[in-house]
Structure 1
Amino acid sequence: MISLPLSLDGFLSRLEDANKERFDDENWSFNEGQRAAITSADGPLCITAGPGSGKTEVLISRALRLLLVDGVAPKSILITTFTEKAAQNLEERIADRLSTLGFEDEVDANALRIGTLHSLCNDLIQEYRYPEYANVELLDADGQQLFMYDNCDFVDYVRGRGLDVEEWETISEEELSGDEWRFFKPMLGWGISDQYGPNKWQATSGAATLLDRVSQYRVDTAAMQSQAPDQWKACAEGLEKYRKTLKDNSRCDFSRLLEIFIEFIGSESGRRLVDGDEERNRPPLTHVLVDEYQDTNPLQQELYFRLAEELDQPNITVVGDDDQALYRFRGGTVECLIQFPTRAAERFDTSVETVQLRHNYRSTKDVVDWCNRYLDDYPLMQVPGARAPDKDSMLVGRDDTAGRPSVKALLEGSSDSVAAEKAAELVEQLYERDYITDYSQVAFLFKSTKETPKNAGPYVAALRERGIPVYNPRNKAFLKQTEIKFALGALLHCIDPGLDGAETINIRGRTRTQLNTWYDSYEEFVDEFDAGELAAYVETRREALEDAEGGDSLGLTLLDLFYRVLSFEPFQTWIESPDYPAPGNRLGQLSNLFDSFMSVSGAHRLSKSTRSETVSTRFLRQFYWQFCGYLEASDFDEPEDPYNQIPEGFVQVMTVHQAKGLEFPVVFTSDLDSEPWMSGTYWIEEQVRPYASINPSGTETERAERDELRRFFVAYSRAEEDLILLDNEGAPTTLSLGYSEDNDELTTEWFDDERRVRTPDDFFETAQESVGSHNSTTLKRRYSITGDVLAYRRCKRQYGYYNEMSFVPDHATQLFFGRVVHETLDRAHRHYSGEIDGVSAGTIPSDGDIETYFREVASSLKAQNIRPMSQKAEETALKYIQRFNRREGADLYPRVVDTEHHLQSNRGEFVLEGIVDVLLGDEDGREIWDYKAGSRPDSDKELDDYRAQLNTYAELYAYQRGEYPDRGVIYFVGEDSRDDAMFELSFSTGEVEDALTAFDETVRDIEQSRSTRDWFGISQMEAPSEGTCTECDIRWNCPARPQFKRNLN
């Protein structure tokens, strides 16, 4: 048995031997650049990695070197990726390599800190209990927009209406013209009325982008307020006001999260991350590795630099490719990578090692040569600062493709429809002649995949006409789907019959047009789908509304009404039939949008209007302007399965951005007549440059052209075997084709003869026999005992709705009780450990302290519109926590090792994970505790579930620490008697193994249900407890309890 640490040479030798077996290639070895990147010493390292260069393998190998050669603890390594999928893929591949090398028991890959930058910042600030981020809701993109609509004064400034100038320092009534929006017009998108200016949603979207960029570019807002033009002074003040509004409402957006993390790094809480915490088994942070650095923005750069400064050495490795920078429109600045060596050397006062990975192992020689010529010979890319310094061309990593033309063109007709028909015919023949074995080996790449005549529409239509399945989840057609229009129309008929309320509150413009469409289409859909039962229910709701007194509660929320509507046909077929997976997923997405709206608006129980036969006009005003206006103003993608990004059996239709990081045997790329898009991104860079941490290279026009060149380069470099340029005859331009080695503009004549595809036979004349078998990468699913296994055992139908189709439960009041208990007790633990300002470590909180913490938590939850069922329920929760603190605090708190302790382990085909509320330890032993906010259940089945939960946690604990804890406790905070409150369990190997066997069986049941989409057919014998069913949102058509359908009103 070889012990750790390994020598560097021994490590490389073992890893190369493992890869020889994995790739079935006796000659496999790391190339010179890869070896340099892996073996580079500590300190700043910049790795420029071209497409297909084995970048991920190098990143994995460098992390393994830190673990196995340098002896770095897994928790001391932080690795950021661009997507969650990439993070999970990286973690699984590191775990796989450790297993292959024989060190999976010595090194826990699950302890590595891997994730997107935003997810890691959120997790770390919470793990280290930074006070400025306590009880904060992190808003996603939808939540941010909905929140800003009613809570950001700068929106009113951009709109030119509704601004209270008395609240501003940089604005006076005399200076305000109402036409300020004209200054910001480049950021407001299309469709702005020149007469009336932007509507409120256009202003909200523009304001969100402006404030995000000012944050992302690290603008000096003080300098901007004192020196900039009036409009930017207002923007700087608007950002400060918005930040305060977020804090006052216990919310945070993604840009503010990074700003808070930078503050956290220099705090006492941050020191525990950087320096480590021996008592809680947390080693110091020593290494930071960053993937996809080319799309980093200055705010993210500052965060990485600040973090690296705090380490004993600035051990930061960045990996990326400036030629593949695509996200300037989201704030990314490619200069962060291009200038990293210079900036890091100046910041850390040390030398920076640079390595280039040049070998492309993905593509044929012909594709590599095409990509090299395209960028290397383009004059605009030869200007200093346009690319990473001293960058060399890619080298061909494959040795089996020389002499085969694999870059071809299908350029037919004067319109896209002709080229589309030819392309569809070719795809059909690729499959029928066994050149491909699965349609997913073919990708069509576009600038936009909207199924409109000028975008992907003709190509998608031609494929479908031939019966070829197409996967196009980002076609922005969410609101055009029948089930979405039908559901929204039915809701409108329930809450605003005749749209009288819309008329009363004067809804106009595009939003009113959209409302009319939904409302009018409802009757058509009722007839088309023979939805008589649904129509009868909607009429019942209208009558109930008519009979109610003004101001009366209607006894249900918007989400509750939504679920009642979905209990009727045709929604039930769309949701529960195995033949209709997509409509159910879309309706689940719609429930999430309703939830976001209810969270930021505070709209809960519906009530009758005092002015008309509708629900309250206050609610309608919010619902129409804020929610429906957002739907109308936004383009929504279809829901995607993160575990099946490239579904088999479908031709993949993607944007180039979507395809980044992917590869396909056959790639069709279109939009060959595309011109640089002079978006507001380039305008704002110029505007804020004097006050910001940005120094973009070139003029606005030059930057736009370079970004379009990079987009084409990414599209071209996705191809493994065949790259087919696809468009109508006259479409290609110099921008899409580039220049020859003689600096002449390339023309379509380059594709004459064997490179021109007019018929499928033209393609096959020079093609290889086959691209080979279909390969797919499958991520391991993650299962928890509470969120998955026990949830599925409780009710597989609920599991199908909530876990698989992402419907959101309407349980805000139940959520309040559980969260206020857990989060207040967490503050009690922090109080004892001295992590709260002004508190000495080792003191037990008093009843008054507990009440203070309770009120702070409750206030934060209410600011997020998570409210108690009643004032009495809130006071009951406080009483429970104070009693627990008095009864258990003196013995419990001194023994706390960690709270909200995350555990996970690999279980072959899946990952098992869980979170323990409290981890205890002293000389008397180790314990795991889990808090339950209510009372001890009477049923043996529920207690058996808790027993399974503790046994599963014991296994996870043993995976991490090598032995079972001495005891597990479920503590029911709502019990008067301590004996009733404590459910204790000692662990034995047999019982733990039995629990895990049962866990594995349930996971197999879940996966079987997923494969057949069999979530819904439960019998009355399989019915969950009556309490579970009574609180269930989807009870109205449940076959296990048909009485709910009979009582539906």
Structure 2
Amino acid sequence: MFDFGNANDGQKLAISTVAGPVLITAGPGTGKTYTLVQRAIYLIQEKGIQPEQILMATFTEKAAKELVTRITNELAVRGIIANINEMYIGTFHSLCLRIIKEHLEYTRLKKNYRTLDDFDQRYTVFQSIHKFRRITGFDGVLSNTGAWRQAGEICELVNNLSEELIDPTDLKSDPDQQIAALGNILEIYQEVLLENNLMDFSAIQTEAYWLLKNNPSILAEIQKKIQYVMIDEYQDTNYIQEQIVFLIGGNHKNICVVGDDDQGLYRFRGATIRNILEFPSKFTKGECKVIPLVVNYRSNSDIVGFYNNWMVTTDGARFRFRWNKFRYDKTIEPHDKSVLKSPATVKLASVEDEEEWREKILLFISELMSSGKLNDYNQIAFLFNSVKHERVTRLARYLEDNGVNVYSPRSDMFFQRDEIRMMIGCLMLMFPKYVIGLEQEEYQFLQAEHYKYYRGCVMAANAYLEKSEAADLRNWIRRRGKIHANLKETTDYAYSGLIYQMFEFEPFSDILGTNIRVGVVDIRPARNIALFTQVVGKFEYLHRIDVFNAKYIDINTERLFNLYLRLLFDGGISEYEDDAEYAPSGCVSFLTIHQSKGMEFPIVFVDSLGNIPRKAYKDLIEVVEDKYFKRPAFEPYEMTKYFDFWRLYYTAFSRAQDLLVLTCNEDKRTPSMYFREVYEDLYDADGEMFDLSEFDFKGVKDVNLKDTFSFTSHITVYETCSLQYKFYKELEFAPVRVNAMLFGMLVHQTIEDIHRAALRHEEHLINPENIIGWFDTNYTS
């Protein structure tokens, strides 16, 4: 008999219903992850299913790691021996990459293909913007702005079209010049990817899809192997992800999807709520079992009641909408009725005085701490629509100035950190010609804010170098500066090599000597420096820079500072986030609402109450959807802004466990009319009805994530040099590629080619001529 532990009746049903299609609608705090973990254990223990026959896909790497950890732990507790390394478990993108890597020769890709992140993708388009601008009708599709902004718009369009499996040939033949131009944009973009052996995030999925679609034998092999499919966060999937799910699991129909239609947040990435709402209709009537999970174990019942009420408050002074068929009708039930007399949902506000608002927040946090009710600042989280807004960063600085540390890795403070300003300043000083140009404002691509920032970096570096303890670094920088100003012979290093040489000196050597086990604030400088090596290494890769030579040193240096780093400066860089410590001890967290998805905190402040629903689609895409998408539009266009707005704040409100605080600086626009009805009914946090003494706040739950280690990538590196392991594997410094490393990699890849040929039973291809050819191909790619 299977031990269901503390599972409730709904969870037991979800765990044990494994044959055929299943939809689990799981509200916030209803034990969704617990149910998924137990369902996997049930398949292995009760049904005798091998781990390699199970596929589990989720939305983030962190969620995937948590599933692996919890399944591993549960197997150990039950004494079950199973190798879950063989299980297909990860994000959609990681699972698609696994399929691609296992069958690379059946794709358009060559060895050493490069996967682009969002910035890489935009930068790649930016470098080729002249190709796009030659398209007839280009100006009718994109805004008449600079190349960088146009590159961003192109990426947004092609991602949307790729994920809907749109063929550019169909668009190109359309009589509408705008649509035809859009087809040409998509075609040229795909050519750029092909020519440079690149994949963006959308292309990872399309490559996997066409690989399976065009190779029936490979699809049949995967279908035979994978007998059970489980998809988490199904409300956030898009069209191509749905297609991949049904390609892999459509024959046996053992597909279980889990999600909450009320927490669908990613329409801007192509996600559609229709996938979860229409899932039962993909099968014959009554074939799909629908199991609702509605008992909330996270939040105080007052908070549950508040966000239930939010979802049905769809009438206001000047707005009105109805959910109709675009939401599963549900009411979340609290596990326990609150025994508090004090409200657990309150507001904390000032009136047209931002300084007073900050003071009230600090006072409230201080009272929480001094009361003894709060054990650690990490029990508090602030949620915003954006953590980059000036009002938010002013609040963060105010709290830190008054002794409350703030953890906000996505607030784009990277370039403002002292260690990064020092590193950029020291690097610039090693290129005297560039610094002279900076002083004389010779660079047309830099604007006033860039000149101000770069000069500040140089001044900070010079101020440090004047100190007596900086003599060694000062002399070394001067020597390098003389060499680079009068370069005649090619060096054996480039920017990355120069940075690593700089680590020999203070203050960098001291920063890098920080114990990796210290708190997130103390280790942040070392992690930021590591991130900077990744940024510079990526620049060198994109521009094929291995060494300095007299012909290109000046132009490449200008390109690094005036183009690449400038664009990153404008767009911002997120700092390191530790999946195993989403609420670092000693810090309050500043998060976006999207970032907080899947998290929970004892005390949650929800800000950004001045927001209003905004149109989130382009008119041209609406026309293309009606004519060329594989299925007609689902939600009414004019209603989507309301649906998305309500889902966003429902997600925010439901993060709170013990206390939910709506906070703002009230004025004629804040809170907006969309919040007014629920906001005005709340009691004040500094009023008589709120009684802090009644509360007992939970601690932040431990996140126990197991890392996966391989012999060659981790154990061998550690045994060779533990310090090297610290830098490359824990801090994630970008290694400088040298000839010996390159040769070793080429040999390894060529051996893989030989191995693949043997697996395909093509032993006749394994001969000296083909081996040399494979080696040469790997080198050129």
Question: By the TM > 0.5 criterion, same fold?
Answer: yes
The DSSP-based 3-state class of the residue aligned with 1:567 is: coil
Q: State whether structure 2 residue 220 is matched by structure 1 residue 261.
A: no
Shift of residue 296, structure 1, vs aligned partner: 0.8
For CA contacts below 8 A with separation 6 or more, give which structure has more relative contact order. 2
Shift of residue 695, structure 1, vs aligned partner: 4.5
Contact 1:126 1:134 in 2 (8 A): no
The DSSP-based 3-state class of the residue aligned with 1:467 is: coil
Shift of residue 582, structure 1, vs aligned partner: 1.2
Deviations 1:112-151 (A, max 9, x none): 211011111112322345432451232333333333332x
Shift of residue 654, structure 1, vs aligned partner: 0.9
User: Which deviates more from structure 2 when the two are superposed, residues 513-522 or residues 44-53?
Assistant: 513-522
Task: Give the 3 Å change call, closer, same or farther, for CA 526–568 of structure 1 in structure 2.
Answer: farther
Q: 2:484 aligns with which of 538, 542, 545?
A: 545
Shift of residue 46, structure 1, vs aligned partner: 1.7
The DSSP-based 3-state class of the residue aligned with 1:236 is: helix
Q: 1:83 aligns with which of 36, 60, 63?
A: 60
Query: 1:476: which partner in 2?
Result: 412
Deviations 1:393-419 (A, max 9, x none): 111222454765211111223133322
Shift of residue 504, structure 1, vs aligned partner: 12
Contact 2:446 2:562 in 1 (8 A): no
Task: Give the 3 Å change call, closer, same or farther, for CA 403–684 of structure 1 in structure 2.
Answer: farther
Distance in 1 separating the partners of 2:363 and 2:651: 26
Matches within 5 A, 1:217-256: 217-227=164-174, 229-256=176-203
Task: Give the 3 Å change call, closer, same or farther, for CA 498–823 of structure 1 in structure 2.
Answer: closer
Q: 1:336 aligns with which of 275, 285, 289?
A: 275
Distance in 1 separating the partners of 2:632 and 2:416: 42
Amino acid at match of 2:130: D
Amino acid at match of 1:422: K
Query: 2:388: which partner in 1?
Result: 450
Q: State whether structure 2 residue 317 is matched by structure 1 residue 378.
A: no
Distance in 2 separating the partners of 1:684 and 1:510: 34
Shift of residue 445, structure 1, vs aligned partner: 0.9
Task: Give the 3 Å change call, closer, same or farther, for CA 621–303 of structure 1 in structure 2.
Answer: farther
Amino acid at match of 1:369: G
Q: Please, what TM-score do these two structures have when normalized by structure 2?
A: 0.91
Q: 1:200 aligns with which of 147, 161, 164?
A: 147
The DSSP-based 3-state class of the residue aligned with 2:388 is: coil
Shift of residue 213, structure 1, vs aligned partner: 1.1
Amino acid at match of 1:317: C
Task: Give the 3 Å change call, closer, same or farther, for CA 629–57 of structure 1 in structure 2.
Answer: same
Task: Give the 3 Å change call, closer, same or farther, for CA 120–41 of structure 1 in structure 2.
Answer: closer
Query: 1:926: which partner in 2?
Result: none
Q: 1:112 aligns with which of 87, 109, 122?
A: 87
Q: 2:8 aligns with which of 4, 27, 30?
A: 30
Amino acid at match of 1:522: V
Task: Give the 3 Å change call, closer, same or farther, for CA 575–451 of structure 1 in structure 2.
Answer: farther
Q: State whether structure 2 residue 766 is matched by structure 1 residue 851.
A: no
Query: 2:539: which partner in 1?
Result: 597
Distance in 1 separating the partners of 2:583 and 2:167: 43
Amino acid at match of 2:344: S
Q: 1:300 aligns with which of 235, 238, 241?
A: 241
Amino acid at match of 2:228: H
Shift of residue 799, structure 1, vs aligned partner: 2.6
Distance in 2 separating the partners of 1:275 and 1:330: 28
Contact 2:491 2:548 in 1 (8 A): yes
Query: 1:758: which partner in 2?
Result: 686
Shift of residue 156, structure 1, vs aligned partner: 3.1
Query: 1:958: which partner in 2?
Result: none
Shift of residue 294, structure 1, vs aligned partner: 1.0
CA-atom RMSD in angstroms = 2.8
Q: State whether structure 2 residue 410 is matched by structure 1 residue 463.
A: no
Matches within 5 A, 1:382-531: 382-388=322-328, 391-401=329-339, 404-450=342-388, 452-453=390-391, 456-495=392-431, 497-499=433-435, 507-510=443-446, 514=450, 517-519=453-455, 521-528=457-464, 530=467, 531=470
Amino acid at match of 1:126: K
Shift of residue 272, structure 1, vs aligned partner: 6.2
Amino acid at match of 2:549: S
Amino acid at match of 2:611: S
Task: Give the 3 Å change call, closer, same or farther, for CA 708–426 of structure 1 in structure 2.
Answer: same
Task: Give the 3 Å change call, closer, same or farther, for CA 773–477 of structure 1 in structure 2.
Answer: closer
User: Which structure 2 residue ranges, 5 or more long, are not aligned?
Assistant: none
Distance in 1 separating the partners of 2:512 and 2:186: 43
Q: 2:671 aligns with which of 728, 732, 745?
A: 732
Q: State whether structure 2 residue 43 is matched by structure 1 residue 66.
A: yes
Shift of residue 481, structure 1, vs aligned partner: 1.9
The DSSP-based 3-state class of the residue aligned with 2:666 is: coil
Contact 1:365 1:398 in 2 (8 A): yes
Shift of residue 817, structure 1, vs aligned partner: 1.1
Amino acid at match of 1:807: F
Query: 1:149: which partner in 2?
Result: 126
Query: 1:820: which partner in 2?
Result: 746
Distance in 2 separating the partners of 1:413 and 1:504: 47
Task: Give the 3 Å change call, closer, same or farther, for CA 509–688 of structure 1 in structure 2.
Answer: farther
Query: 1:364: which partner in 2?
Result: 300
Contact 1:511 1:632 in 2 (8 A): no
Deviations 1:966-986 (A, max 9, x none): xxxxxxxxxxxxxxxxxxxxx
The DSSP-based 3-state class of the residue aligned with 1:820 is: helix
Amino acid at match of 1:493: L
Distance in 2 separating the partners of 1:78 and 1:228: 44
The DSSP-based 3-state class of the residue aligned with 1:201 is: helix
Amino acid at match of 1:384: N
Shift of residue 657, structure 1, vs aligned partner: 0.9
Task: Give the 3 Å change call, closer, same or farther, for CA 686–319 of structure 1 in structure 2.
Answer: farther
Contact 1:421 1:459 in 2 (8 A): no
The percent of aligned pairs where both chains have the same amino acid is 26
Distance in 2 separating the partners of 1:684 and 1:535: 56
Deviations 1:70-120 (A, max 9, x none): 2221101110111111111111211222222332x2x33333211011111
Q: 2:255 aligns with which of 307, 311, 316?
A: 316
Deviations 1:283-324 (A, max 9, x none): x11111110111111121122122223x4x122111111111
User: Which deviates more from structure 2 when the two are superposed, residues 573-582 or residues 252-261?
Assistant: 573-582
Deviations 1:930-984 (A, max 9, x none): xxxxxxxxxxxxxxxxxxxxxxxxxxxxxxxxxxxxxxxxxxxxxxxxxxxxxxx
Q: Please, what TM-score do these two structures have when normalized by structure 1?
A: 0.69
The DSSP-based 3-state class of the residue aligned with 1:474 is: coil
Amino acid at match of 1:270: I
Query: 1:977: which partner in 2?
Result: none
Q: State whether structure 2 residue 779 is matched by structure 1 residue 805.
A: no
Contact 2:18 2:254 in 1 (8 A): no
Amino acid at match of 1:848: E
Query: 1:1002: which partner in 2?
Result: none
Pick the structure with greater CA Rg.
1
Contact 2:438 2:455 in 1 (8 A): no
User: Which structure 1 residue ranges, 5 or more long, are not aligned?
Assistant: 1-9, 20-28, 164-170, 186-196, 277-283, 738-744, 861-1049
Shift of residue 616, structure 1, vs aligned partner: 4.1
Task: Give the 3 Å change call, closer, same or farther, for CA 652–683 of structure 1 in structure 2.
Answer: farther
Task: Give the 3 Å change call, closer, same or farther, for CA 30–524 of structure 1 in structure 2.
Answer: closer
Task: Give the 3 Å change call, closer, same or farther, for CA 695–588 of structure 1 in structure 2.
Answer: farther
Contact 1:48 1:319 in 2 (8 A): yes
Shift of residue 228, structure 1, vs aligned partner: 5.8
Contact 2:340 2:694 in 1 (8 A): no
Deviations 1:317-370 (A, max 9, x none): 11111111111222222222222223x238xx9832222211111111111111
Deviations 1:664-709 (A, max 9, x none): 1111111111122444567644554422246555554531232121
The DSSP-based 3-state class of the residue aligned with 2:240 is: helix
Contact 2:238 2:272 in 1 (8 A): yes
The DSSP-based 3-state class of the residue aligned with 2:409 is: coil
Query: 1:636: which partner in 2?
Result: 573
Query: 1:15: which partner in 2?
Result: 4
Task: Give the 3 Å change call, closer, same or farther, for CA 733–58 of structure 1 in structure 2.
Answer: same
The DSSP-based 3-state class of the residue aligned with 1:849 is: helix
